[in-house]
Amino acid sequence: MRRGPSAFNIAAIVLGMGFLYLPIVLLVIYSFNESRLVTVWGGFSTRWYTSLFQNEQLLAAAWVTLRVAFVSATLATILGTLAALGLVRAGRFRGRTLFSSMTYAPLVMPEVILGLSLLLLFVSVGVARGFWTVMIAHTTLTLCYATVVVQARLVSFDEALEEAARDLGAPPWKAFTLVTLPNIAPAVAAAWMLAFTLSLDDLVIASFTSGPGATTLPIRIYSAVRLGVSPEINAISTLLIGLVATGVIAAYLLNMRRRTPGR
């Protein structure tokens, strides 16, 4: 029996990857287009990037988005790690079923419903919508992803190590930070990055929960996109794609190197 990929396998991979990447590649190429028209190639130019950095609305939105993403990802990672600890190690406790369902539900919940329900909460409490409401909404969404990522690592971590630390007299908190945390650190970092990009990317939930003055980048992009394709959107999209791709690939390479210390 033949081991390697057959011609059919290779064709499937090439076509699949082409499908996944062609639109993104085209978008990046046309962000360097001199012409305003999408289909006319007017020569190489970085003018749309220059005009991007003069667009104050866009820059303000980008700044809001980065702050929201940073704060919510940090909070979600902390809460998610705690939730994963509870789910993996606490055994049976009262309310566990409710807790685990609440943790996983947002993963499959249509975003529109999540956004709607959070907005109703903010309205009924009478909170003005803005930075903090978007931050809370994003923390709630990304908390679940963070939990799943950390949990996957925690399951394969030998709890006996931490128990040993405790037997040797370390208080639970110390045993956790000295023994378990360094071990699950890659997963915690990955959880943070996932939470950060999800928050960076979210349009639907942010639309429901943000107010004037806290317009995020996806909301800006969305309202621009509704008016049609423009090279400026291509340019900002390219920057975002570049940012995320660099981060993800760097995290991946870092993880690889840690696993093969001999090199």
Q: What is the footprint of another protein within residues 52-81 (CB under 8 A)?
A: 79-80
- Residue 128 burial (C-beta neighbours within 10 Å; 0-12, 13-18, 19+): exposed
Distance of alpha carbon 69 from alpha carbon 65, whole angstroms: 6
Distance separating alpha carbons of residues 142 and 87, to the nearest angstrom: 17
Using rule CB under 8 A, residue 1 touches another protein: yes
Q: Which of 10, 59, 178, 181 is the binder for another protein (CB under 8 A)?
A: 10
Of 44, 54, 110, 262, which one interacts with another protein (CB under 8 A)? 110
Beta-strand ranges (E) seen in 132-252 are none
What burial letters (b/e) apply to 22-58, b meaning 16+ CB within 10 Å?
eeeeebeebbbbeeeeeeeeeeeeeebbeebeeeeeb
Contact between 27 and another protein per CB under 8 A: yes
- Which of 58, 62, 71, 87 contacts another protein by CB under 8 A? 87
Please state the closest distance from residue 60 (CB atom) to another protein, in A: 18
By CB under 8 A, the residues from 187 to 246 that bind another protein are 194, 197, 200-201, 203-204, 207-208, 218, 221-222, 225-226, 228-229, 233-234, 237, 240-241, 244-245
- The correct pick among 93, 259, 260, 261 for binding another protein (CB under 8 A) is 93
Q: Does 4 bind another protein (CB under 8 A)?
A: yes
